[in-house]
């Protein structure tokens, strides 16, 4: 006797007003899932799927059925135990994936993203470097901060310096790109150091600290940089200084 083919199913359940959740058996063709997503959007504003991070096939099915990756939901109850699930979803208002902008938005939802940090290398007439003593960690650092989504890194460092120190500085050229590996719960990141130029030491008299983040700001010698900064920050400062006149590498990893 010949074996009967196994019937694969796709399930669509309304989980909230206007929200449907879709699931499918392993091996279900993408075309079938895509058809069910489109059908569900006739009666719902949103269709979502919760996918096991270890199930790469299901992730591909979710993507190519037109659902965008939104993030990871942690601790979802699965068979009585907490588990992580990747959230994919499609909205009725999303552009069709056969349109270029809709397809780009789909790709953008799952392609890797990297955090960017912009910092300013400002010196005084004695070649000391401006450092900030921060409220949320022991070591000192260059002024600057995280680049917002859609923000120019060069604009970001000027914004951060104005917010944290009350100084309006036009950032100069990029001096150094420093890759920071994953560390102590942080994902990896790119640190972009811009030239802040040479300023009179008296500029510190104009500083208005954002007290929530900045304890103090000082121009420091390289010996003080080594004493006050984390080792990778001290290396970054030295690498950036070396590259001001093009003598060093414009790219480092953890300051090396």
Task: Specify the residue for token string 């300023």.
Answer: 199
74-114 per-position pLDDT tens digit: 999 999 999 999 999 999 999 999 999 999 999 999 999 89
What pLDDT shows up at residue 179?
A: 97
CA distance 12 to 37: 9
Asked if residue 6 has pLDDT above 80, the reply is: no
What pLDDT shows up at residue 1?
A: 47
User: Is the CB of residue 250 less than 8 Å from the CB of residue 176?
Assistant: yes
User: For residue 157, how many other CB atoms are within 10 A of its CB?
Assistant: 27
What pLDDT shows up at residue 8?
A: 86
With a CB cutoff of 8 Å and minimum separation 6, the contacts of 46 are 18, 19, 20, 89, 90, 91, 92
Distance (Å) of CA 204 to CA 61, 174, 192, 211: 57, 23, 23, 15
The torsion defined by the Cα of 236, 242, 245 and 251, in degrees rounded to 10, comes to -50
10-68 per-position pLDDT tens digit: 999 999 999 999 999 999 999 999 999 999 999 999 999 999 999 999 999 999 999 99
The torsion defined by the Cα of 84, 90, 91 and 93, in degrees rounded to 10, comes to 150
What pLDDT shows up at residue 3?
A: 52
CA distance 84 to 71: 10
In which band, very low, low, confident or very high, does the pLDDT at 185 lie, cut at 50, 70 and 90? confident
What pLDDT shows up at residue 249?
A: 84
Return the CA Rg of the chain: 25
104-152 per-position pLDDT tens digit: 999 999 999 899 999 999 999 999 999 999 999 899 999 999 999 999 9
What pLDDT shows up at residue 152?
A: 97
- Domains of the chain by range and CATH? 10-110 (3.40.630.30), 115-253 (3.90.79.10)
Distance (Å) of CA 251 to CA 28, 139, 162, 176, 189: 46, 23, 26, 6, 13
CA distance 206 to 165: 8
* DSSP of 109-137: HHS---EEEEEEEEE-TT--EEEEEESSS
Task: Specify the residue for token string 């604009």.
Answer: 155
């Amino acid at each position: 006797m010949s074996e009967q083919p196994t019937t694969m199913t796709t399930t669509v359940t309304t989980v909230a007003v206007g929200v449907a959740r879709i699931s499918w058996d392993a091996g279900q063709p993408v075309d079938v899932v895509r058809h069910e997503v489109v059908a569900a959007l006739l009666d719902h504003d949103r269709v979502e799927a919760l996918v096991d991070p270890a199930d790469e096939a299901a992730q591909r099915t979710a993507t190519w059925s037109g659902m965008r990756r939104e993030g990871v939901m942690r601790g979802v109850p699965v068979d009585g135990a907490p588990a992580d699930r990747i959230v994919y979803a499609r909205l009725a208002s999303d552009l069709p994936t056969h349109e270029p902008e809709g397809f780009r938005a789909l790709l953008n939802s799952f392609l890797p993203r990297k955090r960017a940090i912009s910092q300013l290398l400002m010196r005084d007439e004695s070649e000391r470097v401006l450092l900030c003593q921060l409220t949320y960690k022991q070591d000192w650092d260059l002024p600057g901060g995280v680049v917002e989504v859609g923000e120019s890194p060069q604009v970001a460092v000027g914004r951060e310096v104005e917010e944290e120190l009350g100084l309006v500085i036009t950032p100069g050229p990029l001096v150094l790109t420093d890759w920071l590996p994953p560390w102590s719960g942080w994902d990896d990141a790119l640190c972009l150091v811009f030239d802040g130029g040479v300023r009179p030491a008296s500029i510190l008299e104009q500083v208005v600290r954002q007290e929530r983040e900045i304890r103090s700001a000082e121009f420091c010698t390289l010996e003080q940089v080594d004493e006050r900064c984390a080792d990778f920050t001290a290396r970054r400062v030295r690498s950036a200084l070396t590259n001001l006149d093009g003598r060093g590498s414009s790219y480092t990893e953890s300051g090396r």
